[in-house]
Amino acid sequence: MHPDKPHEIDIVKTPSSKINSVDFDTLSFGSTFTDHMLVCDFREGKWGKPVIKAYEPFLLDPSAKVFHYGQAIFEGMKAYKDEHDDVWLFRPDQNLDRFNKSAVRMAMPEVEDWIFLEGLRQLVDLERDWVKKGLGNTLYIRPFMIAVGSGVIAAPSTQYRFMIILSPAKSYYSGEVKVIIAEHFSRAANGGIGAAKAAGNYSAQFYPTKLANEKGFQQIIWTDDATHTKLEEAGTMNVFFRINDTLYTAPVSERILDGVTRKSLIALAQREGINVEERSVYVDEIIKAAKDGSLKEVFGAGTAAVVNPIVGFSYQDTYYELPKLDNSIALQLKDKLTKIQYNLAEDTFGWTVKV
């Protein structure tokens, strides 16, 4: 970094944009990327100058640590455009904070705050035409860091690459979501990396999820690996249970991700006078509540999905269908959260940040 120009980011614009070749009505989640990306390399114990440049493939050595030992973390965020063409980020400080917690757990360097936040702001600002107006349209933001140092000794890399890529998106899920409660497979260990957004946590879920898909379920609700009696989270979402008029969700822990949507929904619910309890939720009590009719709703919460109502779940080969409610708390909270994100309602929490 030049001492007279701290926190400077190089911007090398592409000569032409591919935006006109993109059909924004038929986007498939996470498969279209904008013209530019941010790249910042960590070498010899320090971060170099971030560069915003053309989105393009890059070279890695076959022995790069990310291929062999999975040192890789990421975040998921979104940008939203309001009616006045202003672009908004939602609680980027929370993503930065979690990103650096993930980095520590994976023995990776923490990214400097300004590289993450200012890099994000300048990149999204440059790509603001890719953020389309209208509820459901977003620019999905993927900050990530990978170990790029070479060598097949099982030890942390000394070289890393931090990147931000952007993907225009419509809503993540479509159709009804049915889930299966895990009875054998697990997502995280006590003393493991479940609380980190580490790449390996996700591929570990692919096979059990594939088995669930084959049975007609879209996701798994994970249980604790020791006893499979506590409901923890879904693969890409935290999970809430409504019994009568109280919401229950598992407390964040070293097994459970500290979801930004999760904590925002809790704050919103509390403001609305809805009772929320963060405590262990047991399979037994949910089955009992499903049977006696007091289980009103189950829903996932995550950046990609925002709020995802679950229509039913399976446990020990029995399927429990959830009631169809006129007055869904899930949809109420989703509406309130979405309106804040799109600057359609006052943000009394100070969550949104204008780009």
CB of 252 to a copy of itself, least distance (A): 17
Q: Which of 112, 127, 225, 233 binds a copy of itself (CB under 8 A)?
A: 225
Interface with a copy of itself includes 66 (CB under 8 A)? yes
For the segment 242-301, give every residue that binds a copy of itself (CB under 8 A).
none
In three-state secondary structure terms, 26 is: coil
Residue with Cβ nearer a copy of itself (55 or 282):
55
Which among 87-95, 112-120, 139-147, 321-329 is the span making contact with a copy of itself, rule CB under 8 A? 139-147
Q: In sequence order, what are the residues at sequence separation of 6 or more whose Cβ sits closer than 8 angstroms to the Cβ of residue 297? A: 240, 241, 242, 309, 310, 322, 325, 328, 329, 330
Q: Which of 1, 24, 48, 67 binds a copy of itself (CB under 8 A)?
A: 67
Compute the C-alpha angle 85/75/106, nearest 5°.
160
Distance of CA 321 to the CA centre of its chain: 27
Interface with a copy of itself includes 171 (CB under 8 A)? no
Contact 256, 193 (CB under 8 A): no
Half-sphere exposure of 183 (CA within 13 A, CB side): 10
Interface with a copy of itself includes 101 (CB under 8 A)? no
Contact 52, 62 (CB under 8 A): no
Q: In sequence order, what are the residues at sequence separation of 6 or more whose Cβ sits closer than 8 angstroms to the Cβ of residue 293? A: 323
Classify residue 97 by burial, with Cβ atoms within 10 Å: 0-12, 13-18, 19+.
Answer: middle
Site string for a copy of itself, 295-324 (x = CB under 8 A): ---------x--------------------
CB of 210 to a copy of itself, least distance (A): 6
Residue with Cβ nearer a copy of itself (219 or 341):
219
Which among 41-49, 196-204, 290-298, 324-332 is the span making contact with a copy of itself, rule CB under 8 A? 196-204
Residue with Cβ nearer a copy of itself (140 or 313):
140
Interface with a copy of itself includes 187 (CB under 8 A)? yes
Q: In sequence order, what are the residues at sequence separation of 6 or more whose Cβ sits closer than 8 angstroms to the Cβ of residue 77? A: 89, 90, 92, 95, 120, 140, 141, 142, 143, 303
Interface with a copy of itself includes 154 (CB under 8 A)? yes
